[in-house]
Amino acid sequence: MTRFKERDLIALAESLAGSRETDPSVKIGIGDDCAVLQPESQKDLVVTTDCLAEGIHFDLSYFKPYELGSKSAAVNLSDIAAMGGMPKWALVAISSPPYASKYFLKEFLKGLIDQLAEAGAVLIGGDSVSSAGPFNITVTLVGEVGRDRYLTRSMARPGDLLFCSGYLGEASLGLRWLQKFGRKYRPGLKQTIKRLILRHLVPAPRLELGRALAASGLVRCAIDVSDGPATDVAHICAQSSVKAVIYERAVPISRASKRIAAFLGIDSLDAALRGGEDFELIWTARPEYMQQISKIAAKTCSKAFAIGRIEEGKGVWLEGNSGCLEEISFKGYEHDI
Amino acid sequence: MTRFKERDLIALAESLAGSRETDPSVKIGIGDDCAVLQPESQKDLVVTTDCLAEGIHFDLSYFKPYELGSKSAAVNLSDIAAMGGMPKWALVAISSPPYASKYFLKEFLKGLIDQLAEAGAVLIGGDSVSSAGPFNITVTLVGEVGRDRYLTRSMARPGDLLFCSGYLGEASLGLRWLQKFGRKYRPGLKQTIKRLILRHLVPAPRLELGRALAASGLVRCAIDVSDGPATDVAHICAQSSVKAVIYERAVPISRASKRIAAFLGIDSLDAALRGGEDFELIWTARPEYMQQISKIAAKTCSKAFAIGRIEEGKGVWLEGNSGCLEEISFKGYEHDI
């Protein structure tokens, strides 16, 4: 295994990112003390950082390094999507263990840079260190959004409907499959399993939808599904000082999810509400905008499932098919720190 | 030991940072999917990220958590200083091991936020995760600089003098002391040792100097001393396509360094050139600006030691007191990655 000096890695990142660095907003990219950027005037900046730790967020027994790079970008891109922003500039800090090979790091960087490029963003800097511990990857992403046109968790209002951009629970079921069987398929289930595990390995952030919702002026409140709606919607409720009611009958669960959940002996509703990492968007809007919102979603190849309503009160509640209410606030996936 | 949920840590960071978040440029701080910022118009952004790994960059046997927080900010602030920028907004990703206590994390955050505040910057977001491995801390810092007024590694020109803002080698000697004796002093050396170990534990980034040099228009090229001049100046040479000659007689070494180096049996010149982490600035300028530059340095409580010259050619060379030249390019401290 070839070991890198930090400056070899920087040179590699520079050569991989270089061809993408034609963005005139990047005055200095990788390789100086700081990157230098020229933001557009009359825009706000949106900034996010996410840390992925080996053994907690990913397992290299089933993650290909290219996929890991791609996912490291995607989880941050999804945060920018939830604000209605345009991702622009990314930095990556890699803490890599003694067993990291040159091949691994190169593939990782390729995956990261390709996923960024697909979203219109470039890698402008980073840091790397060899550590005693497992892999630790921190990506920071800066984007732009029209002045005061951002979406936020704190703008849900009683009377709003609660929307979701796609099927819930697929990513966590994909993860459970990977943990149990790795990348091995079952006869007759290959496409179904593949769909679910790819939801975990290479999530697709809803960037176009986020921007279209923000630009429409019809939506002010959104979050992305990272810990599962039970927790993510609880953040909206806490920060908007409202109550959310999610209808059991309206929770979007795909046929693929139902099949694999049955196979694994897992409740697909539970996976949908508490599983996390689907990286769909959840947002609120006045009921009278429903039709317009459906059109916006369709234009960006998303759905606009109406999954619940916002009321005065506190917490996230699940309205069962029998009509009974159960509180599920913060019962999604939460890391200890 | 009390363990945290991630949202407890976010709430703590919010309450600690909250009082500092009166900066009107911060529209949304900690606690949403992204922070939202309004940059000043007609400024460029400078962005940097630095990763500190336990066992590589720091050892908790002698680092107090408050100091570690402070240093995590300082190493990034120093990068902004080297670009001539004004630090504004910081994010922190903490990957913490099972033995991290609530007290530790609180003190760490306090140190981080205080050091940022002293430099005029605020904590606007972050991420936290519990991992199997050692501590891993990544701080990302965004600052502003006058449009096209940034300093860069690539603007050294033959004929320039090479300057340094303060004594070199103190931080690495402080580190060597800590590694050998911890925070135990020796009779008669207490103040001397304290000075050196504090250079390692709580470095003081040269922000005012960097901004003043950039604003003067006399300086276009700078770097901060993180890996030692043998490596840091080599970056200037590589990126400016020039050769640097450092005069042995002009390398600024303090009396404190000489005493402790002698005690430890280390060559103080070696510590100065290869030790790193002094976080002084090194810059180049035309010889005719020397007097003006000395005044700027004095105004910002720094020095402007002329330590060498820039010529046509390649690499960093040390001109010994006997006049002989030895190449020292990239012989400073470099991490494997």
Domains, chain B, ranges and CATH? Answer: 6-146 (3.30.1330.10), 161-327 (3.90.650.10)
Residue type, position B207, single letter: L
Alpha-carbon distance B225 to nearest alpha carbon in chain A (angstroms): 10
Give the pLDDT band of residue A7 (cuts 50, 70, 90): low
Percent helix / strand / coil, chain A, rounded to 5: 40, 25, 35
pLDDT score recorded for residue A331: 84
Name residues 229-288 of chain B within 8 A of A (Cβ). 239
**Test mutation, B106, B131, B144, chain A, max A CBs within 10 A:** B131
Contacts 24+ apart (CB under 8 A), B58-65: B58/B135, B59/B178, B59/B179, B60/B135, B61/B182, B62/B178, B62/B182, B62/B183, B62/B197, B62/B201, B63/B201, B64/B107, B64/B201, B65/B103, B65/B104, B65/B105, B65/B107, B65/B108, B65/B111
Is it the case that residue B10 has pLDDT exceeding 80?
Answer: no
> What are B270-286's pLDDT values in tens digits?
999 999 999 999 999 99
Range B107-113 average pLDDT: 96
Structure-block tokens of residue A157: 């209002």
Compute the average pLDDT of residues A324-332: 91
Do residues A100 and A225 lie in contact, with contact meaning Cβ atoms separated by under 8 Å? no
Residues in chain A closer than 8 A to B127 (CB atoms): 49-51, 138
pLDDT band at B333 (very low <50, low <70, confident <90, very high): low
Q: How far apart are CA B302 and CA B325, in angstroms?
A: 29
Mean pLDDT of the A29-51 span = 94
d(CA B21, CA A261): 46
Sequence-distant (6+) residues with CB within 8 A of B181 are none
Q: Show residues of chain B in contact with A80, CB under 8 Å.
A: 33-34
State pLDDT tens for residues B155-205.
999 999 999 999 999 999 999 999 999 999 998 899 999 999 999 999 999
Contacts with B334 from chain A: Cβ below 8 Å: 5-7
A88 close to A121: Cβ distance less than 8 angstroms: yes
B337/A94 Cβ within 8 A: yes
Nearest to B44 by CA among B99, B88, B104: B88
The sign of the dihedral angle between the CA atoms of A97, A102, A107, A110 is positive
* CB contact (8 A) between residue B132 and residue A56: yes
Residue B337: per-residue pLDDT? 41
Contact map slice: B 169-198 vs A, CB within 8 A: none
Residue in A45, A47, A133 closest to B133 by CB? A133
pLDDT digits (tens, 9 = 90+) for B254-311: 999 999 999 999 999 999 999 999 999 999 999 999 999 999 999 999 999 999 999 9
Nearest to A336 among B47, B79, B130 (CB): B130
**pLDDT tens-digit profile of A244-284?**
999 999 999 999 999 999 999 999 999 999 999 999 999 99
| Averaged pLDDT of chain B | 93
For residues B136-147, give the mean pLDDT: 96
Confirm or reject contact between A108 and chain B (CB < 8 A). Answer: no
pLDDT tens-digit map of A129-179? 888 889 999 999 999 999 999 999 999 999 999 999 999 999 999 999 999
Residue B302 CA to residue A175 CA, distance in Å, equals 55
pTM, 2 dp: 0.94
- What mean pLDDT, rounded, does chain A reach? 93
In the predicted model, what is the mean pLDDT of residues B48-62?
Answer: 92
Terminal Cα distance for chain A, rounded: 33
Q: State which amino acid sits at residue A61.
A: S
Cα–Cα distance for residue pair A307/A165, rounded to 1 Å: 10
Are B335 and A33 in contact (CB < 8 Å)?
Answer: no
Q: Is A142's Cβ below 8 Å from some Cβ in B? A: yes
**C-alpha to C-alpha distance for A261 and B7, rounded to whole angstroms:** 29
Please state the length of chain B.
337
* Measured CA angle at B242 (ends B239, B244), to 5 deg: 110
Q: End-to-end CA distance of chain B: give it in Å, rounded.
A: 33
The closest CB to that of A337, out of B47, B129, B154, belongs to B129
Least Cα separation, residue A248 to chain B (angstroms): 26
Note the pLDDT of residue A99.
82
pLDDT tier, A3 (very low <50, low <70, confident <90, very high otherwise): very low
Calculate mean pLDDT across residues A176-203: 94
Mean pLDDT throughout B134-140? 95
The four Cα atoms A182, A184, A190, A192 give a dihedral, to 10 degrees, of: -10
d(CA B142, CA B45): 7
| B35 vs A contacts (CB less than 8 Å) | 46-48
Can you tell me whether residue B125 is helix, strand or coil? strand
Digit-coded pLDDT (tens) for A74-122: 999 999 999 999 999 999 999 998 888 889 999 999 999 999 999 999 9
DSSP secondary structure string for all residues of A231-292:
HHHHHHHHHHT-EEEEEGGGS---HHHHHHHHHHT--HHHHHHH------EEEEE-GGGHHH
**The pairing of beta strand A161-164 with beta strand A305-311:** antiparallel
pLDDT of residue B98: 83
Mean pLDDT of A188-213: 96
How high is the pLDDT of residue B1?
35
Quick one: pLDDT band at residue A206, thresholds 50, 70, 90? very high
% residues pLDDT > 70 (chain A): 95
Which strands, in side-by-side order, build the sheet including B221-224?
B221-224, B281-285, B161-164, B305-311, B243-247, B315-319, B325-327
Q: What percent of chain B is modeled with pLDDT above 70?
A: 95
pLDDT for A337 equals 41
pLDDT value at position B2?
40
The interface predicted TM-score of the complex, written ipTM, equals 0.93
Is residue B210 within 8 A of residue B82, CB to CB? The reply is yes
What is the share, in percent, of chain A residues with pLDDT greater than 90? 83
B304, B296 contact by CB (below 8 A): yes
Q: How many Å lie between the alpha carbon of B24 and the closest alpha carbon of chain A?
A: 12
CA distance B262 to chain A (A): 31
- Smallest CA-to-CA distance from B219 within B231, B205, B206 is with B206
